[in-house]
Chain A
Amino acid sequence: MTVLPPAWRVGRVTPLGELHTPPRMTAALLRLAVQIVLVASLWHGLYAAAGTTAGLDRDQAVSYAVLAVLASRLREIDQYAARDTVIQHMHFGTIVYWYLRPMPPQRYYALRALGEQLYGLAWSLAGYLVCLAAGVVQPPASAAVAGVFALSMLFGQWVLYYVMLVIDQLCFWTLRNGAALLILIFAQNLLSGVYAPLWFFPDWFITLSSFLPFQATLSVPLSLYVGRIPLSDAAFQLSVQAGWIVVLALFTRFLWRRAARRVISQGG
């Protein structure tokens, strides 16, 4: 009768928490709107005296930057407000409850993240439609581009899920060691191309970043959207993304096992 996974209500935690706190939603709306206006104006301003730079013209760059803001919204809610992050559970000692339930912590975590990403998607889609209508963002060049972008974005979110998971998993070991954590977060912010399209960076930087998973989260799908990566390259980029998904899936599974062993040998 139902195709929902068991315990799907776990996925509702984030959206419900937000719906119960209207001020938080107003804040999110305000932040999203302001950020889009700022980013769009900045790129318009920067391009005022320049033509095509790094293979991107003004409209492409603005579309890229605005879409980056929208896509960040997918997992940008205030994680700490719900007191359900690994680091908080480690801090308050409530991580034991994750291991006291007949549901593996990894499934609980995945359901929570899925709910969060779907909730974020609603925001991003709404924002996208508004930006499209207002002409801030260019529509995709063709239906094929739109389709490839959608698939690539899905893969990108999948990779992002694993990157965030690794960051959270580190908290099982690093209550006293926030530095590794922060480095990983910076890497994600800088190398995913949220702040500026990676195309603007020096060549060595682009090469370096191509060996890391971060650009697969955002830079690749957005470049496909604005046409900076041609459709002919799409198959290759998608397979790289898929490769990262496999690698990170195995890696995070390994980390979950180590985390469980750690909890079980220390008692939470």
Chain B
Amino acid sequence: MTGSIEVRGLSRTFHTTVRRPGFAGALRSLVNPERVAKHAVSDVTFDVAQGELLALLGPNGAGKSTTIKMLTGILTPTSGTARVAGVVPYEERERNARNIGAVFGQRTQLWWDLPVRESFAILRDIYEVPKAEHAARLKEFDELLELSSFWDTRVRHLSLGQRVRCDLAAALLHDPPVVFLDEPTIGMDVVVKEQVREFLRHQVAERGRTVLLTTHDMTEVERLAERVVLINHGRLVLDGALDEIRRRFGSTWQLRATLADPHTEVAGLPGVVVVRREGRQVVFGPEGPGAEALSVHQALKLVIERYELAGIAIDEADLEDVMRAAYAQAEAAL
């Protein structure tokens, strides 16, 4: 059985009732409710290969969680199809459940009132994992996540970082080929984050698990993902290798110049625009997106030649800027 994910034209529309303001409006809504359709996900298509870690990115409310819910089988798509490890998740929820592990951000699946290890034992029962296998896997997870120092503590007393590590372990105890992680490292400290990333890398590289990850942490994407899928307003706007995206959108830069004379009139230059100005401080940026833009060195040359400066600094784009540029372009294209 391979752990690949196939998504074809997946769409999900929610219908909600609009509440009209005021008392008369409330009455009218009662008699004649006005329904509006919200397209949470529309026509999304992508694949994840076995043993690949894919980052599903997008701003809040873009449709990431809805997509993950459809792939885990807890939400039925309005149209389109999905296959996870060969199973259509929303048609055979229980069969799909055996193939997948899932962690939804801060929501824990552990039993609040029990020591973590009891939760693991209950899950072992539910997933019918043989005892020896369970023990071996727990040992492996303990080595990577250092669980044993707190796994006899009751969940209610765990810190966030400890709890999410336990949740990760709980989601993987039945050896699922496919793993869904919806913002797993949100709110964690740097050390724990790094530990979790190391764990995920290990699960992908050594265990061949397929991981679909959503996150807002670009460092995480840089460290973990080779490929990203970007969705916005429910639509897929970009699907590609991280390197390629960097190449396409990565030439964003900013020049922070300090003018020698605060009264100098400043205007754009060919290929360079003024992003903002505050007194003597002027920030220049590239005109036009991505590949066609000037390189930072060309721009530097132009700016220095044209204006009298007291100082200048270069900010090269990090992944966050790259993504911003990518969103902006996708937005413009819609």
A residues at B contact (CB < 8 Å): 6-10, 12-13, 16-17, 20-21, 81-84, 92-94, 96-97, 99-104, 108, 263-268
Q: In the complex, what's the smallest C-beta–C-beta distance from A259 to chain B, in angstroms?
A: 12
Q: Which residues of A contact B76 (CB under 8 A)?
A: 264-265
The listed residue (A81, A102, A266) touching B97 by CB distance below 8 A is A102
Q: How many A-B residue pairs have CB under 8 A?
A: 98
Q: Do residues B107 and A93 form an inter-chain contact, with CB atoms below 8 A?
A: yes
Q: Do residues A13 and B114 form an inter-chain contact, with CB atoms below 8 A?
A: yes
Q: Which residues of A contact B75 (CB under 8 A)?
A: 264-268
Q: Do residues B126 and A103 form an inter-chain contact, with CB atoms below 8 A?
A: yes
Q: In the complex, what's the smallest C-beta–C-beta distance from A31 to chain B, in angstroms?
A: 19
A21 CA / B109 CA spacing, docked (Å): 21
Q: Do residues B74 and A263 form an inter-chain contact, with CB atoms below 8 A?
A: yes
B73 at the A interface (CB under 8 A): yes
Cβ proximity bits B117-128 to A, threshold 8 Å, 1 near / 0 not: 010011111111
Q: Could you show 9 A-B contacts with beta carbons less than 8 Å apart?
A: A7-B125, A7-B126, A10-B126, A16-B114, A17-B113, A82-B111, A96-B104, A102-B95, A266-B75
Q: In the complex, what's the smallest C-beta–C-beta distance from B95 to chain A, in angstroms?
A: 8
Q: Find the A residue at minimum CB distance from B154.
A: A20
The listed residue (A21, A103, A265) touching B113 by CB distance below 8 A is A21
For B14, B90, B94, B156, the residue with the greatest tally of chain A CB atoms inside 10 Å of its CB is B94
Q: Do residues A92 and B113 form an inter-chain contact, with CB atoms below 8 A?
A: no
The listed residue (B69, B112, B121, B128) touching A82 by CB distance below 8 A is B112
Q: In the complex, what's the smallest C-beta–C-beta distance from B15 to chain A, in angstroms?
A: 10
* A83-B112 contact, Cβ under 8 Å, with A9-B125, A93-B107: yes
Q: Which residues of A contact B127 (CB under 8 A)?
A: 101-102
For B69, B95, B115, the residue with the greatest tally of chain A CB atoms inside 10 Å of its CB is B69
Q: Do residues B114 and A20 form an inter-chain contact, with CB atoms below 8 A?
A: yes
For A21, A83, A101, the residue with the greatest tally of chain B CB atoms inside 10 Å of its CB is A101
Q: Find the B residue at minimum CB distance from A99.
A: B74
Q: Find the B residue at minimum CB distance from A104.
A: B94
Q: In the complex, what's the smallest C-beta–C-beta distance from A84 to chain B, in angstroms?
A: 7
Q: Do residues A13 and B115 form an inter-chain contact, with CB atoms below 8 A?
A: no
Interface size class of B (residues with CB under 8 A): 35 or more
Q: Do residues B74 and A267 form an inter-chain contact, with CB atoms below 8 A?
A: yes
Q: Which residues of B contact A83 (CB under 8 A)?
A: 112-113, 156
In the complex, given contacts A20-B115, A84-B111, A99-B74, what are 20 additional A-B residue pairs having Cβ atoms less than 8 angstroms apart? A8-B125, A9-B122, A9-B125, A13-B114, A20-B114, A21-B113, A81-B113, A83-B112, A93-B107, A94-B108, A94-B109, A96-B104, A102-B94, A103-B126, A264-B76, A265-B75, A265-B76, A266-B14, A268-B69, A268-B75
Cβ proximity bits B8-27 to A, threshold 8 Å, 1 near / 0 not: 00000010000000000000
B residues at A contact (CB < 8 Å): 14, 65-66, 69, 72-76, 90, 93-95, 97-98, 100, 102, 104, 107-109, 111-115, 118, 121-128, 154, 156
Q: In the complex, what's the smallest C-beta–C-beta distance from A15 to chain B, in angstroms?
A: 10
Q: Which residues of A contact B118 (CB under 8 A)?
A: 9, 12, 16
Q: In the complex, what's the smallest C-beta–C-beta distance from B74 to chain A, in angstroms?
A: 5
The listed residue (A94, A101, A263, A266) touching B126 by CB distance below 8 A is A101
A21 CA / B74 CA spacing, docked (Å): 34
Q: Which residues of A contact B65 (CB under 8 A)?
A: 267
Q: In the complex, what's the smallest C-beta–C-beta distance from B98 to chain A, in angstroms?
A: 5
The listed residue (A7, A21, A81, A267) touching B69 by CB distance below 8 A is A267
Q: Do residues B73 and A99 form an inter-chain contact, with CB atoms below 8 A?
A: yes
A40 CA / B235 CA spacing, docked (Å): 68
Q: Do residues B113 and A6 form an inter-chain contact, with CB atoms below 8 A?
A: no
A96 CA / B102 CA spacing, docked (Å): 10
Q: In the complex, what's the smallest C-beta–C-beta distance from B56 to chain A, in angstroms?
A: 16
A97 CA / B171 CA spacing, docked (Å): 10
Q: In the complex, what's the smallest C-beta–C-beta distance from A2 to chain B, in angstroms?
A: 12
The listed residue (A8, A17, A266) touching B114 by CB distance below 8 A is A17
Q: Which residues of A contact B72 (CB under 8 A)?
A: 96, 100
The listed residue (A13, A21, A99, A266) touching B122 by CB distance below 8 A is A13
Q: Find the A residue at minimum CB distance from B174.
A: A102
Q: Do residues A6 and B74 form an inter-chain contact, with CB atoms below 8 A?
A: no
Q: Do residues A97 and B109 form an inter-chain contact, with CB atoms below 8 A?
A: yes
Q: Do residues B74 and A96 form an inter-chain contact, with CB atoms below 8 A?
A: yes
Q: In the complex, what's the smallest C-beta–C-beta distance from A235 to chain B, in angstroms?
A: 40
A7 CA / B113 CA spacing, docked (Å): 18
Q: Do residues B122 and A102 form an inter-chain contact, with CB atoms below 8 A?
A: no
Q: Which residues of A contact B114 (CB under 8 A)?
A: 13, 16-17, 20
For B76, B93, B122, B156, the residue with the greatest tally of chain A CB atoms inside 10 Å of its CB is B122
A153 CA / B123 CA spacing, docked (Å): 32
A16 CA / B108 CA spacing, docked (Å): 19
Q: Which residues of A contact B113 (CB under 8 A)?
A: 13, 16-17, 20-21, 81-84
Q: In the complex, what's the smallest C-beta–C-beta distance from A214 to chain B, in angstroms?
A: 29
Q: Do residues B107 and A99 form an inter-chain contact, with CB atoms below 8 A?
A: no
Q: In the complex, what's the smallest C-beta–C-beta distance from A175 to chain B, in angstroms?
A: 15
